[in-house]
């Protein structure tokens, strides 16, 4: 299995631009998570889906952030408009019904 696949690996953009991060979870995993990691705040949960349905989005910073999971093999995290404080590494992770979380390699976002 290829593991959790994220794209892009790196993104540099200017303030105000739209950013879309993509994730393909491991086949057969029914839960998908989006995390943001910074030096100051560590690993923060943004949102997670169970069977493609958003369960908890309380970690989404504000209305500029949105996430979708149109099917079991794809999810997106969108930031519009982006701001410099959104600069971070964004991780997607998936897990089966009960078991450990498998992380993707992350998308490093820099907003200038």
Partner 1 sequence: EDKVVQSPLSLVVHEGDTVTLNCSYEVTNFRSLLWYKQEKKAPTFLFMLTSSGIEKKSGRLSSILDKKELFSILNITATQTGDSAIYLCAVEEAGANNLFFGTGTRLTVIP
* 106 is an interface residue for partner 1 by CB under 8 A: yes
d(CA 34, CA 13): 20
d(CA 58, CA 54): 10
* 100 is an interface residue for partner 1 by CB under 8 A: yes
CB 16 within 8 A of CB 111: no
CB nearer to partner 1: give 30 or 66.
30
Size of the site for partner 1 (CB under 8 A): 22
Minimum distance, C-beta of residue 73 to partner 1, in the bound complex (Å): 19
Binding span for partner 1 by CB under 8 A among 20-28, 36-44, 62-70, 73-81: 36-44
Return phi, psi of residue 16, to 5°.
Answer: 100, -15
Is the peptide bond preceding residue 71 cis, with omega within 30 degrees of 0? Answer: no
Minimum distance, C-beta of residue 112 to partner 1, in the bound complex (Å): 23
Strand spans (E) along 39-73? 42-50, 53-56, 65-71
Q: Pattern 51-90, binding to partner 1, x per CB under 8 A? A: ----xx----------------------------------
């Amino acid at each position: 299995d290829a593991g959790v696949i994220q794209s892009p690996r790196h993104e540099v953009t200017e303030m105000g631009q739209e950013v879309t991060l993509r994730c393909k979870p491991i086949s057969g995993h029914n839960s998908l998570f989006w995390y943001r990691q910074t030096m100051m705040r560590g690993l923060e949960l943004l949102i997670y889906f169970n069977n493609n349905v958003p369960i908890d989005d309380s970690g989404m910073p504000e209305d500029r952030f949105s996430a979708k999971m149109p099917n079991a093999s794809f999810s997106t995290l969108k930031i519009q408009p982006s701001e410099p404080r959104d600069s971070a590494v964004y991780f997607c992770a998936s897990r089966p019904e009960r078991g450990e979380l498998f992380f993707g390699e992350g998308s490093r976002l820099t907003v200038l």
